[in-house]
Structure 1
Amino acid sequence: MWKSNSTEIRELIVRCISQMVLSRVRNVKSGWKSVFSVFTAAAADEHKNVVLLAFETMEKIVREYFPYITETEAATFTDCVRCLIKFTNSRFNSDVSLNAIAFLRFCAFKLAEGGLVCTDKSSDDGSSVSTVIKDDSGVQSFTDIDDPGSYWGPLLTGLSKLTSDSRLAIRKSSLEVLFNILNDHGHLFSQTFWLGVFSSVVLPIFDGVCEKRDKALQTEQDSPTAESPHRDAITWDTETSAVALQCLVDLFISFYDVLRPRLSDVVCILTRYLRSSIQGPASTGVAALSHLTGELGSRLSEDEWQEILLALKEAAMSTLPGFKKLLTTMDDIKVPHNSQSYSNTETSSDHGLTNDDLEDDNLQNVAYVVSRTKSHISVQLLILEVVTDMYRTHLQFLSAANINIIVEIFSSISSHALQLNSETTMQKKIQIACSILELSEPPMIHFEKEAYQNYLDFLQYLVKKNLSISKEMNLELLLVAVCEKIMQIYLNCTTVNHNVQQKSGDKVVVVTHWTLPLSSAKKEELAARTPLLVSALRALSGLERDSFRKYISNVFLLLVDLVQSEHSSGEVQRVLSNIFQSCIGTIIMQ
């Protein structure tokens, strides 16, 4: 049939075969292989009428005459599946493709209904375990024809391949059907077969998407001010990604006892989403990872928890080099001193470009940096969110080594947030550009506040809830150090003459620093930082009496400076009063 150049002849062949099969279906028997061969060729035909005619007959065969297909030879089931997969690639009518996918699910149901249970085979009894290969059509199959895996293989791998189809409806439908089949009939698979399916059918679905996302991220790091590559690099939309990850995690949870050796692969996929420089994929990864640990937390070993936490740490740190490289581009970008000077500039350059044109280019570059900074902050906060959820829910299952990884995550993100806020020249450029372009500024202070608040809450939680690990890791000292840092940051924003300890040889010298009166921007910053300072002061006052006495020398001068500050809020003064009366006063009176 495929050798004929005449559309009429090809259509006539399909009609003849259809008439023959439908009128003598009981007599086809060993002829099914030839029938499916003709319909497979018709599915790839370049004329719509041939495709639709062939599929109409296939639909009737599958719906009404399915038992006759494998009556003589079970292997014809695979021919039927391959034929349906060919129809899913039809570009003439999406309904044909979607119906073919639905029929594949029907075939899976019939296969499971027939009691074909995939069992391990060893070479000791003269048989062999099914292995995965690719045939000429690019569809994977399982080699041992007597193994039920030879029937499941083409069906599952055909659906897996369809998840990368360019048509959104086909991608989503094939994803849904594939994971429904695995969830509904996975109990029939042995562990050996399951691990093979997971490696050759499930994981490749995500490899293609993640590889493109990784390439996009690498491109962005190499050329940070270039046009954002994500739109073309990610083949799945946000909704499809969310559905796919949800299906993956649900499947892994349902068959955890068999699929446990593949935990590292699943974690790798989820954290690769967290490495994205845009919020959508990162949110999807966070939701999936939270669901995974929420369901399996009590069943994970210490090493498995460590694997998850290390992957999270790597995800948090992996985007920093590219982001820092992006920020360095701000050094070469010049923006107007203020929005007024921008609106009044109309001079021409020697190259036929006005200064406005050059400044517009600079402003657009800054706008890109602003957008990327907002996304970066959102992703970092999402990582803090998932880590917080993990330790609050599963603290009893975390060892000291795992707790230490969490400490490193909080510490590194907090330090990064503080460093970001110390880039005053860059912040000034961003403020001017955002004012001119009428954009909201990146929430840098909010990022720093949330990072330190999460870090502080974590240490307080550990000190109160797990005394053994707290003492083993000396977390009280770390808690005091974080509180000290928060107070110092706050005082740096005030105008009081605060005392700073500096070393001069072997002596500690107290140096008094004077600053100018507060601007309105500084007042707003202090107001934003006040809740964090109050939390730090309350954390100090919540220490045991002996612990407070032990660490009072670390923070006493800072507490005095806060008392002297004329810009501290009433809430800050009340907490300070409580510290001096209840904590420091008690020490003095003893």
Structure 2
Amino acid sequence: VLPHLREADSTENLSLFTTDEDHLKYWLPILYGLSEVIGHPHIDVRTSALDRLFNILLKYGNTIDADLWALIFRKVLLTIFSPVLSTTENSQGQLDNMAEWVTTTCLGALSHMVELFSYYFDHIQFLAEEFLALLTSFILQENVNLASIGSTCLLQLITSNAEKWSDAQWKVVATTLQYVINQKLCVELLSVGKPKRTNTDGDLVEEEEEITEISPTNGLEDFVGMLRESTPSKHRPLDVKVVVGKCNVVLLLLKTLHDVTSSFYDTLTNEHFDIFLNALDSCFNLAKTLNNKPNVWKATGKSDIMSLIVRQEASSCD
């Protein structure tokens, strides 16, 4: 591959590399191999692979055409996170085995993707919706570390490209924020104190509350469908740790929304603010309802849940 890359060094803004077989046989083994090594158990090995992978893409990104970028995004970059975003029944055990990777490498890998997207925005902005769907999958994980990483990188992605987003892209960004806030709300607390129902196995279980789906705004039905497909299934029973984690992530998302609207007030349109206000309204109404339920206060006991819900109510009308 080196002769081809040396040729690329002397050529500016020219797409030399495509999905042609002659190019793929060089690019994919190298890039995919590095992405696999990023999952190595030794931190120094995976960190080196991570740096090399993104250094290559940063250096030669302007010589890659759109089709090859799409292939690299879907077949190389997304696979880095497949083990921790798995939706299988064994995903929790798999995630437990990768706890060190999540805490030491995951944020760096996702941040590198944000930096790459921002650097080559003009080349790969067509992948924005898929990238936002990836971040949505992170944010909606029950694991608070993954959810926090996704929230942090969502803010990084929005702010680093704030001057580049078109009005249509801002609408997609706003819809993403509305969706993740809506999905992350602890609606399961509404079932506290309600009588249990009998499931098909004859066991008594809590009555589950349904999340109110957002109505896709004109032109974004397909995108909202993509976000729904990125929403992970729940495999663990409701517990205090999960609820506390969700509450903390909602507060982080509310801060993100506040930072975005205050920092880019002049850039956003009334349509964008309507979407943001709908998200705040959903959060405020749920928090207010929960705060007025004595059964919820009693059932949550000495946990941090209700103090976090109070903060959500205050933050959503701040």
Tell me the TM-score range normalised by the shorter chain: 0.7 to 0.9
* 1:455 corresponds to: 316
Secondary structure of 1:297's aligned partner: coil
* 1:385 corresponds to: 255
* 1:112 corresponds to: 5
Deviations 1:291-340 (Å, cap 9, x if unpaired)? 2111211211122111112122221222447744885799689xxxxxxx
Call closer, same or farther: CA 1:115–1:219 in 2, change over 3 Å. Answer: closer
* 2:96 corresponds to: 231
Deviations 1:86-123 (Å, cap 9, x if unpaired)? xxxxxxxxxxxxxxxxxxxxx6xx763354769658xx
Secondary structure of 1:300's aligned partner: coil
Question: Does the 8 A contact of 1:417 with 1:451 survive in 2?
Answer: yes
* 1:143 corresponds to: 21
Question: Does the 8 A contact of 1:330 with 1:426 survive in 2?
Answer: no
Higher relative contact order (CA 8 A, sep 6+): 2
Secondary structure of 1:456's aligned partner: coil
Residue of 231, 243, 249 corresponding to 2:114: 249
Q: Distance in 1 between matches of 2:306 and 2:158?
A: 30
Q: Distance in 2 between matches of 1:155 and 1:326?
A: 51
Q: Distance in 2 between matches of 1:376 and 1:454?
A: 15
1:294 aligns with 2:147: no
Question: Does the 8 A contact of 2:247 with 2:308 survive in 1?
Answer: no
1:280 aligns with 2:158: no
Residue type at the aligned position of 1:301: S
Residue type at the aligned position of 2:163: S
Residue of 377, 401, 404 corresponding to 2:271: 401
1:258 Cα offset (Å): 0.1
Q: Distance in 2 between matches of 1:175 and 1:233?
A: 16
Percent sequence identity is 22
1:424 aligns with 2:317: no
1:188 Cα offset (Å): 3.2
Q: Distance in 2 between matches of 1:206 and 1:236?
A: 10
Deviations 1:12-62 (Å, cap 9, x if unpaired)? xxxxxxxxxxxxxxxxxxxxxxxxxxxxxxxxxxxxxxxxxxxxxxxxxxx
1:378 Cα offset (Å): 0.3
Question: Does the 8 A contact of 1:160 with 1:174 survive in 2?
Answer: yes
TM-score (normalised: structure 1): 0.42
Give RMSD over aligned pairs.
3.5
| 1:4-19 correspondence to structure 2 within 5 Å | none
Question: Does the 8 A contact of 2:186 with 2:247 survive in 1?
Answer: no
1:443 Cα offset (Å): 4.4
1:266 aligns with 2:131: yes
| 1:18-97 correspondence to structure 2 within 5 Å | none
1:168 Cα offset (Å): 4.3
Question: Does the 8 A contact of 1:272 with 1:315 survive in 2?
Answer: no
* 1:17 corresponds to: none
1:180 aligns with 2:55: yes
* 2:228 corresponds to: none
Structure ranking higher in helix proportion: 1
Q: Distance in 2 between matches of 1:277 and 1:193?
A: 33
Q: Distance in 2 between matches of 1:232 and 1:318?
A: 27
Residue type at the aligned position of 1:453: A
Q: Distance in 2 between matches of 1:451 and 1:386?
A: 13
Q: Distance in 2 between matches of 1:418 and 1:207?
A: 37
Question: Does the 8 A contact of 1:160 with 1:175 survive in 2?
Answer: yes
Residue type at the aligned position of 2:315: N
Q: Distance in 2 between matches of 1:453 and 1:426?
A: 18
Question: Does the 8 A contact of 1:163 with 1:171 survive in 2?
Answer: yes
Call closer, same or farther: CA 1:319–1:293 in 2, change over 3 Å. Answer: closer
Secondary structure of 2:180's aligned partner: helix
Q: Distance in 2 between matches of 1:391 and 1:425?
A: 35
Q: Distance in 1 between matches of 2:299 and 2:312?
A: 24
1:409 Cα offset (Å): 0.9
Question: Does the 8 A contact of 2:39 with 2:80 survive in 1?
Answer: yes
* 2:35 corresponds to: 160
Deviates more, 1:242-251 or 1:314-323: 314-323
Q: Distance in 2 between matches of 1:415 and 1:233?
A: 37
Equivalences, count: 278
* 1:560 corresponds to: none
Residue type at the aligned position of 1:317: N
Q: Distance in 1 between matches of 2:248 and 2:276?
A: 19
1:383 Cα offset (Å): 1.0
Call closer, same or farther: CA 1:329–1:283 in 2, change over 3 Å. Answer: farther
Larger Rg: 1
Q: Distance in 2 between matches of 1:256 and 1:298?
A: 11
* 1:203 corresponds to: 78
1:394 Cα offset (Å): 1.1
1:178 Cα offset (Å): 0.5
Secondary structure of 1:395's aligned partner: coil
Q: Distance in 2 between matches of 1:115 and 1:168?
A: 32
Call closer, same or farther: CA 1:111–1:249 in 2, change over 3 Å. Answer: same
Deviates more, 1:308-317 or 1:420-429: 420-429
1:453 Cα offset (Å): 3.1
* 1:371 corresponds to: 241
Question: Does the 8 A contact of 1:274 with 1:283 survive in 2?
Answer: yes
Question: Does the 8 A contact of 1:417 with 1:444 survive in 2?
Answer: no
Secondary structure of 2:265's aligned partner: helix
* 2:218 corresponds to: none
1:206 Cα offset (Å): 3.0
Segments of 5+ residues of structure 2 without an aligned counterpart are: 197-203, 206-236
Deviations 1:349-370 (Å, cap 9, x if unpaired)? xxxxxxxxxxxxxxxxx9x733
Residue type at the aligned position of 2:136: T
Secondary structure of 2:142's aligned partner: coil
Deviations 1:527-552 (Å, cap 9, x if unpaired)? xxxxxxxxxxxxxxxxxxxxxxxxxx
Residue type at the aligned position of 2:254: L
Secondary structure of 1:276's aligned partner: coil
Call closer, same or farther: CA 1:446–1:120 in 2, change over 3 Å. Answer: closer
Segments of 5+ residues of structure 1 without an aligned counterpart are: 1-76, 78-106, 122-128, 132-141, 221-227, 334-365, 435-440, 458-590
